[in-house]
Structure 1
């Protein structure tokens, strides 16, 4: 990692490179540095949350997605990933609320995906879920 970088976008790109190489901890460190340099860097919040989510560290992942949507409320990806994390933690009501928001923002993207996502299997019998994914 290049400690000399002062541009948050460069840290963000470095994080993506580490992420693509499977170096999760280095990716998290780079995204964290990008956020330290620019607190409202919502893309970095989402990316760091995604890495944490893939490491199954769901609570911190959700906290990152919450920060991202605090800066950009219409960030449907962050809402969907939040729903995924809540579903994995069996927090069904929170999962449904976040999924509802993601689908409201971008139905073309998330309805079909939610219907296929195994993380939502325990929700698929819930009438609220069925209503969300009905096309």
Structure 2
């Protein structure tokens, strides 16, 4: 038995030694992909790095490594690896798309715009080209251009409900609540399980003064995706308006623990302190927001109320 085991091991070693570099690097890539599917991005990165040791120009390994880095919020590293993927595969459209999205998340809007322009020039029939362009224009508050880009994306992928939700979001920013609602009806007919759809429905209901409906819609959003900080923040705001002050504060604080830099959650905390009659605490939040984001909904109203306490 011992001789058979040793012989089997020797055969396996010989076969492995005969593997080409292409086979070996591909095997590491697949192992990394398996770890990524198991939600173990750190182990996945290790396998992708082993693949890159065998071939430092392996574009797919750089791309997948970047995706794993996004899972652990390493935006700068992800951008660097998407760029490497593009360096070694100059027509890597998906790498341009993902890098553009990551630039947006990292606050590098002009660089994201460059990737969107490349995609619009080189991948005219890909809805992602115009989706990215729309997101960029949204960041620059060029809402008319953003809406046109999202509509173009929808024309290329009519069954994509997310693109309709993006259109509705722009219409909401433009205060065209009727058109935004009509667009959400279209989106819901395609996919009623899109959480952002229900969150936006809640925001429209809130603006219309229907706080109970707003609460019902945002709770649907949370049921569908319980990992979005801004859903909890919106629910907290609706509780404040429904008189459930402390419950509202708990949700706003939960949202801030998930995303400490959300100015809307900081605004809502200021609103809480106005409702509690605590001028000093309210001004700590609202004065800075009034200076930085004077056009943010409710900031001016509650800043004035705080001053009068």
Cα gap change, 1:108 to 1:123, in 2 (>3 Å)? farther
Does residue 57 (structure 1) correspond to residue 108 (structure 2)? The answer is yes
Partners of 2:171 and 2:97 lie apart in 1 by 20
Structure-2 separation of matches of 1:63 and 1:121: 27
Which has the larger displacement, 55-64 or 44-53? 55-64
Kept in 2, the 8 Å contact 1:11–1:34? The answer is yes
Give the CA RMSD over aligned residues. 2.7
- Which position in structure 2 is the counterpart of 1:30? 81
Q: Is the Cα contact below 8 Å between 1:18 and 1:24 reproduced in 2?
A: yes
Residues 57-96 of structure 1 aligned to structure 2 (within 5 Å): 57-96=108-147
* Aligned partner of 1:98 among 135, 138, 149: 149
- 1:38/1:126 Cα in 2 relative to 1: closer, same or farther (>3 Å)? farther
Taking a change above 3 Å as real, the CA distance of residues 120 and 60 of structure 1, as seen in their structure-2 partners, is farther
Aligned residues: 131
For residues 57-115 of structure 1, the C-alpha deviation after alignment (integer angstroms, 9 at most, x for no partner) is 22211211221232221221231232122022111232122112111111221224432
Q: Does 1:15 align with 2:63?
A: no
The answer to whether the 8 Å contact 2:123/2:129 transfers is: no
Q: For structure 1, list consecutive stretches of 5 or more residues without a partner in the other structure.
A: none
Tell me the SS of whatever aligns to 1:29.
helix
Any runs of at least 4 consecutive aligned residues in structure 1 with deviations exceeding 3 A, and if so which? 1-4, 132-135
Name the SS for the 2:107 alignment partner: coil
The whole-number CA distance in structure 2 between the counterparts of 1:112 and 1:19 is 24
1:114 is aligned to: 167
TM-score, normalised by the number of residues in structure 2: 0.38
Higher relative contact order (CA 8 A, sep 6+): 1
Structure 2 residues not aligned, in runs of 5+: 1-44, 187-309
Shift of 1:42: 0.5
- Residues 1-53 of structure 1: CA deviation (Å, up to 9, x unaligned): 84642111111011111111110000000000011111110000001001011
